[in-house]
Structure 1
């Protein structure tokens, strides 16, 4: 049953698009199926050359939900995400990528948790995977990256709401998988987070989502819903696959950012690791060893 919109905060569903005609229809359909009544849709398009926007227009004609489309020249993944947020008018930001879908109760449940806990800046959940053909590589990927929350070592996310500092202090923070929250489709953000900690990095190409989650944790509590509320699509054309060769530079940049922004929040072992990588004393020591011992 659709809830009444009275006194329900506006949620901006943000969809960054680029040549997404193959699956954007399923994403749009999942918006129209939401049981949460107060939505707007912000589509930020990176100059798609296919039928993506025509499909969006067909779904817009079927609903009273405001759907606004913004066009701009491609300037990278982070710029497109930030372009969405800049045009969003909601109290909450709910990303939905063009390949993904949401369960009908996704937004309603995430907003209910956030509204019950005003100190929560980020809500995330479990997710399921979508794929065309199940291959051994996909099976391995899903086995390792399925329930990301199980990789936190020092607390149980099933507690529901925890201070962001608890996440950052976890002894497994720097260990794989680096993103223990999930993809943007898996997250609801309070709009004021962007006023507090800024926008997504536009220099990172893969880890900009987890980089942002962890920055939010420095100022807000985190809520977890122990249910699969979004479907994340796996296929060869994903940006994460296309950018795989850039993962190493991204990892270096991310660690540098952790050293600058998160150091004081981290577990002592994580602090020591970052100190050895980036503190001037240790960098000088490494250069001296290379000079003396040739390695």
Structure 2
């Protein structure tokens, strides 16, 4: 069991033109019941008044608020810049559109400290939206209770070995990200030394790729409570990527084939081998050609 029960947590907020919601976001961070934290703001050259709002909070609060100007190079680079400037032992991402429940950090750090070798603790999240549409209802139905999409795993509050996730038959099935967005996750900063930073080549799947990279080496904790809210609106990166028909499944599967194959369920291994093994993939293509 980890012994320091009040370690410093870095609440990391990567920003870019976030003036519309940044106040609500920061207020939710400052209202945390867990009081040993700092705010790390990494801004990708916002052209609105995001930085003016953040600087105003910095001048009026005793909570350490560190602001870093970052040269834009994709969302992954901005996420990584937050981590690299964080002073805390633990990383709590909070995106500029999202909010945390008051007890979010308290409950997640409690789970993190309950056992050894835990790298990630995640929880359920609400959705925030301005207008309910058929598309939104479809999104909520598909991406709501992510933890229920495993085949053998019955996720309940507690800690399990990360390799159990990889061994599940549904690991490759949709939704690809069965953990959640970074706002729903608390990370041990030391894990970045072990597995590296977020993959900056990815635009959409970089969070679930990173979660999977932790699983062979660490335990994963789940808090069975709604501890954050994820905002849905047309200007967010995921919506823009969807409108541009960005699909990184092939790239993600190729990464899994090269890094996770031995850990996966037999059916998942076979699926990836048919896709990427030079000989097997050639045979599959020939069979399709002549049938």
- Report the TM-score, using the length of structure 2 for normalisation: 0.95
- SS state at 1:132 partner: coil
**1:112 and 2:110 are equivalent in the alignment:** yes
Task: Determine the structure 1 residue equivalent to 2:80.
Answer: 82
TM-fit CA distance, 1:283: 2.7
Map residues 143-292 of structure 1 onto 2, 5 A cutoff: 143-244=141-242, 245-248=244-247, 250-286=248-284, 288-289=286-287
Q: Report the Cα distance in structure 2 between the residues aligned to 1:171 and 1:39, rounded to whole angstroms.
A: 38
TM-fit CA distance, 1:30: 0.3
Q: Report the Cα distance in structure 2 between the residues aligned to 1:288 and 1:15, rounded to whole angstroms.
A: 49
TM-fit CA distance, 1:218: 1.2
Deviations 1:189-236 (A, max 9, x none): 000110011100011100000000011111100000010000000001
Deviations 1:121-165 (A, max 9, x none): 100001001111111211121121111101012122105111000
For structure 1, the residue ranges without an aligned partner over 5 or more in a row are 1-5
Residues 5, 113 of structure 2: 8 Å contact kept: no
For structure 2, the residue ranges without an aligned partner over 5 or more in a row are none
Q: Report the Cα distance in structure 2 between the residues aligned to 1:48 and 1:35, rounded to whole angstroms.
A: 30
Residues 157, 223 of structure 2: 8 Å contact kept: no
Q: Report the Cα distance in structure 2 between the residues aligned to 1:246 and 1:200, rounded to whole angstroms.
A: 22
Q: Report the Cα distance in structure 2 between the residues aligned to 1:114 and 1:170, rounded to whole angstroms.
A: 23
- SS state at 1:222 partner: strand
Task: Determine the structure 1 residue equivalent to 2:135.
Answer: 137
Deviations 1:219-254 (A, max 9, x none): 100000010000000001110011123532x11110
Task: Determine the structure 2 residue equivalent to 1:3.
Answer: none
**Structure 1 residues 7 and 288, CA, compared in 2 at 3 Å: closer, same or farther?**
closer
Residues 200, 208 of structure 1: 8 Å contact kept: yes
Q: Report the Cα distance in structure 1 between the residues aligned to 2:258 and 2:139, rounded to whole angstroms.
A: 31
Task: Determine the structure 1 residue equivalent to 2:51.
Answer: 53
- SS state at 1:43 partner: strand
- Report the TM-score, using the length of structure 1 for normalisation: 0.94
RMSD: 1.4
Residues 43, 70 of structure 1: 8 Å contact kept: yes
Task: Determine the structure 1 residue equivalent to 2:16.
Answer: 18
**Structure 1 residues 229 and 256, CA, compared in 2 at 3 Å: closer, same or farther?**
same
Residues 153, 172 of structure 1: 8 Å contact kept: yes
Q: Report the Cα distance in structure 1 between the residues aligned to 2:68 and 2:241, rounded to whole angstroms.
A: 25
Q: Report the Cα distance in structure 1 between the residues aligned to 2:157 and 2:79, rounded to whole angstroms.
A: 30
User: How many residues matched?
Assistant: 287
TM-fit CA distance, 1:289: 4.6
- SS state at 2:13 partner: strand
- SS state at 2:246 partner: helix
Residues 11, 91 of structure 1: 8 Å contact kept: yes
